[in-house]
């Protein structure tokens, strides 16, 4: 841990790296959102164009010029879909920089950033780090991006509450998974928002991009992990992600 601290948050390096991860993750979800919004109508255009071509190729066809137009519609629609696929490939990043690491160590490295986020909303950050957590095989910066995004989300949810904002970061584990959870004292997640929460571009914030939770989901699932949330009986919400324990530790 000392080795990472010596390169840590005191220098701007890790902050700039985190910002770069956030930028790439946001672009990934932007491309994903574009594909989600356009692939369906493009597929419909292609289907109708192909059907029109078949009808016009019957024994009593219409003018050949119309056939040519329909073929061009079909080719353009399929070409647009292929273009979107290429755009997504530009931003799809394999989680190649994985190494065996401790979630507690990752949190410790960015603790000043997390505290600053809480302070900006007049809140307090509390850490409950379980001892002896097993290692995970992860891309350090991308998982740190997820933690920062969840804490930012908790701060935003707590900003307008009556109680003094208190953001909690806790870890736990079992034989197979390591969990990191972020809780807040906000109003919780409304029922209408729950099904869309991790979709790109969906946001309940007036100035939100709808990319923070979506990019977090993308990163966690690329690590063969899971991410989710629940509303707390006492008020507020708890967002969590779980990563598989390193295979060496399960053996």
pLDDT (tens digit per residue) in 211-242? 578 888 888 998 999 999 888 888 888 999 99
Confidence category of residue 161, pLDDT binned at 50, 70, 90: low
CB 205 within 8 A of CB 120: no
SS3 labels along the chain: CHHHHHCCCCCCHHHHHHHHHHHHHHHHHHHHHHHHHHHHHHHHHHHHHHHHHHHHCCCCCCCHHHHHHHHHHHHHHHHHHHHHHHHHHHHCCCCCCEEEECHHHHHHHCHHHHHHHHHHCCCEEEEECCCCCCCEEEEHHHHHHHHHHHHHHHHHHHCCCCCCCEEEEEEEECCCEEEEEEECCCCCCCHHHHCCCCCCCCCCCCCCCCCHHHHHHHHHHHCCCEEEEEECCCCCEEEEEEEEECHHHHC
Architecture of domain 98-250: 2-Layer Sandwich (3.30)
Which segments of the chain belong to CATH 1.10.287.130?
A: 13-91
pLDDT tens digit string along 144-160?
Answer: 989 999 998 888 887 76
Architecture of domain 13-91: Orthogonal Bundle (1.10)
Which segments of the chain belong to CATH 3.30.565.10?
A: 98-250
pLDDT tens digit string along 83-116?
Answer: 666 556 545 555 457 899 999 999 998 888 888 8
Q: Record the tokens describing residue 57, joined without a space.
A: 């190729």
């Amino acid at each position: 841990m000392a080795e990472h601290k010596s390169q840590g948050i005191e220098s701007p390096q890790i902050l700039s790296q985190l910002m770069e991860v956030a930028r790439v993750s946001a672009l990934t979800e932007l491309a994903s959102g574009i594909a989600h919004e356009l692939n369906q109508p493009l597929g419909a255009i292609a289907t109708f164009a192909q059907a029109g071509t078949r009808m016009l190729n019957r024994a009593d066809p219409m003018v050949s010029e119309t056939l040519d137009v329909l073929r061009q519609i079909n080719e353009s629609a399929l070409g647009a879909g292929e273009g979107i696929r290429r755009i997504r490939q530009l931003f799809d990043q394999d989680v190649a920089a994985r190494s065996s690491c401790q979630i507690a160590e990752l949190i410790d490295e960015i603790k000043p950033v997390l505290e600053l986020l809480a302070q900006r909303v007049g809140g307090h950050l509390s850490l409950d780090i379980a001892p002896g957590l097993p290692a995970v095989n992860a891309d350090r910066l991308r998982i740190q991006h997820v933690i920062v995004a969840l804490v930012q989300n908790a701060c935003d949810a707590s900003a307008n509450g009556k109680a003094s904002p208190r953001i909690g970061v806790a870890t736990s584990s079992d034989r197979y998974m390591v969990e990191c959870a972020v809780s807040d004292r906000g109003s919780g997640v409304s029922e209408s928002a729950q099904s869309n929460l991790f979709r790109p571009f969906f946001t309940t914030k007036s100035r939100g991009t709808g990319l923070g939770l979506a990019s977090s989901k993308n990163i966690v699932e690329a690590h063969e992990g899971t991410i989710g949330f629940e509303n707390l009986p006492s008020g507020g919400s708890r967002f969590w992600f779980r990563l598989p324990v390193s295979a060496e530790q399960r053996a």
